[in-house]
Structure 1
Amino acid sequence: MNYVKIITNRYKNLLVDKAFMTLYYQFIEMLETVGSMLLNLFYSLRCLVMGELDRAKFLEQASRFGVDSLPISLLMVSITGMIIAIQVSLEMVKQGAGDYVGMLVALSII
């Protein structure tokens, strides 16, 4: 008997099973996430249509996720722009397009 082939086949099947189960669990998790997002959307629309919207809480949440998050958002955009400029500038200078680095960074930030 060729034990190497038997062990190799069992090992391959085990890897395929693990990969399939991993993909299966990730797919199920994605479906649960999409389902909960849809439920939240329908609940929000129902509250909006029925007039059950608490204006104070709405304004607090809008402020928290809008204006109050602006400093960290601007910081992240600035750092990303610096990284893009560092990565691209040397090659653009070699190619003779060093004057366009600023424009490229501005476009990438937008």
Structure 2
Amino acid sequence: MRVTEVVLSVGIGMLFAIGTFLVLRRDLVRVIFGVIVLSQATNVYLITMGGIQGVAPVVGGHGGHGETAVTDPLVQALVLTAVVIGLATTAFALVLAYRVYEEHGTIDLDRLQGVER
């Protein structure tokens, strides 16, 4: 195992742990931030599994004559699309959280559900 693989594995694990911790909070904004962190952890995981070693797929002289491995561009395109969709979804979720606060005066999930602690 290379050092970069170990560092990325630990980093991805920490991102998933932080995202899970935030999703389990009572505050609506923290839940939204937890979903954001989980989606970004998934994007980093996909990029890592797609291969971070190799050369760019747009270099000239393709043909496989002793060249190094080429990084898969499909994974990068899918992650780029996921980042754009995630940004739009995050903006929408934050606007919805603001509207919930305006309507109910709180963003505490237990109060919104009517549960008393």
**What TM-score, normalized to structure 1?**
0.32
Larger radius of gyration: 1
Structure (1/2) with the larger helix percentage: 1
**What TM-score, normalized to structure 2?**
0.31
The structure with higher relative contact order (CA 8 Å, sep 6+) is: 2
